[in-house]
């Protein structure tokens, strides 16, 4: 029995050459309860880290949604900004963003979500299933190994004149590392 398991594990490893190369920690988040409720979480299983979300949107979101991702890289004990932009997801789908890092993260995310990143956001359940990065990820060609802080804020402007309403925000630290193959 044990031998069969060992063989199966070996086969899975041979077939699935992708090895996780990311570690997530220090997740903090806040959801605007008028719009949504649910959870954002980090999972770790056998040293494989993933990031997930299970959120119920209770109100339709349209007009303009400004997402502000802020990515910082730790170099010699100091954080340096790599990305700090505003995206209107009602105008441009993040997978088409002009910023290559944002575009690549958005494209990678679409493998793990069951909704569109582009607004409008209809009421319903939004899932992000075990987002992780493996050694084949195109993101690894854009940013070096090391430690990062990601902070993301989403504000809703129902009309152009409205004051911003925070939809949600989160911050997470992650580390990218090389795997010996």
d(CA 56, CA 152): 19
148 and 171 Cβ atoms separated by less than 8 Å? no
Q: Is the peptide bond before 120 cis (omega within 30 degrees of 0)?
A: yes
Question: Which residue(s) pair with 152 in the sheet?
Answer: 69, 170
CA separation, residue 151 to residues 58, 73, 126, 174 (Å): 24, 12, 20, 11
Judged by CB under 6 A, which of 66, 82, 95, 127 binds ligand NAG?
127
Instruction: Name which of 17 and 125 has its Cβ closer to ligand NAG.
Output: 125
Instruction: Name which of 84 and 114 has its Cβ closer to ligand NAG.
Output: 114
Residue 115 lies near ligand NAG (rule: CB under 6 A): yes
Segment lying near ligand NAG (by CB under 6 A), choices 64-72, 96-104, 123-131, 136-144: 123-131
Residue 113 lies near ligand NAG (rule: CB under 6 A): no
Judged by CB under 6 A, which of 13, 44, 114, 145 binds ligand NAG?
114
The DSSP annotation for 142-162 comes to TS-SEEEEEEEEEEEESSTTS
Judged by CB under 6 A, which of 17, 37, 125, 166 binds ligand NAG?
125
In 3D space, the residue among 66, 39, 44, 41 whose CA is nearest the CA of residue 126 turns out to be 39
Tokens 């954080």 belong to 79
Judged by CB under 6 A, which of 123, 124, 146, 164 binds ligand NAG?
124
CB of 124 to ligand NAG, least distance (A): 5
Binding mask 62-101 for ligand NAG (x = CB under 6 A): ----------------------------------------
Size of the site for ligand NAG (CB under 6 A): 5
In 3D space, the residue among 151, 140, 110 whose CA is nearest the CA of residue 128 turns out to be 110
Residues that bind ligand NAG (CB under 6 A): 114-115, 124-125, 127
């Amino acid at each position: 029995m044990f031998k069969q398991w060992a063989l199966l594990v070996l086969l899975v490893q041979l077939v699935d050459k992708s090895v996780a190369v990311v570690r997530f920690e220090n997740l903090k988040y806040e959801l605007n309860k008028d719009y949504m409720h649910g959870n954002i979480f980090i999972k770790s299983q056998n040293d494989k880290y993933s990031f997930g979300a299970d959120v119920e949107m209770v109100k339709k979101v349209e007009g303009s949604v400004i997402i502000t991702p802020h990515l910082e890289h730790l170099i010699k004990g100091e954080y340096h900004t790599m990305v700090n932009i505003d995206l209107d997801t009602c105008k441009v789908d993040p997978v088409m963003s002009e910023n290559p890092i944002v575009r690549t993260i958005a494209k990678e995310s679409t493998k793990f979500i069951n909704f569109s990143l582009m607004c409008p956001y209809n009421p319903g359940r939004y899932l992000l299933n075990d987002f992780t990065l493996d050694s084949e990820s195109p993101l690894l060609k854009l940013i070096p190994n090391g430690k990062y802080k990601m902070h993301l804020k989403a504000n809703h402007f129902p009309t152009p004149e409205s004051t911003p309403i925070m939809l949600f925000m989160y911050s997470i630290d992650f580390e990218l590392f090389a795997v010996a193959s």
